[in-house]
């Protein structure tokens, strides 16, 4: 890919420095887009679904 990018949902590791895989608090594993444009991210380590919404800021 080319062009600019933006980090819009960072810090899924749960800490600043991850030195080994076991250090990460979250493990994003799946993505889906909802009908309203929301992005859903599944976390297989905690059985959680995160919903990310664009606010236009």
Is 8:52 a contact under the CB 8 Å cutoff? Answer: yes
pLDDT in tens, 10-54: 666 666 777 777 777 777 889 999 999 999 999 888 888 989 888
Task: Give residue 43's pLDDT.
Answer: 87
CA distance 17 to 41: 21
Is 24:14 a contact under the CB 8 Å cutoff? Answer: yes
Question: Could you give all domains of the chain from N- to C-terminal order, each with its CATH number?
Answer: 1-57 (2.40.50)
pTM over 0.75? The answer is no
């Amino acid at each position: 890919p080319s062009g600019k990018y933006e980090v819009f949902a960072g810090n899924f590791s749960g800490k600043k420095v991850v030195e080994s895989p076991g250090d990460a608090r979250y493990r994003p594993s799946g993505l889906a887009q909802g009908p309203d444009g929301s992005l859903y991210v599944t976390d297989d380590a905690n059985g959680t679904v995160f919903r990310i919404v664009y606010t236009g800021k």
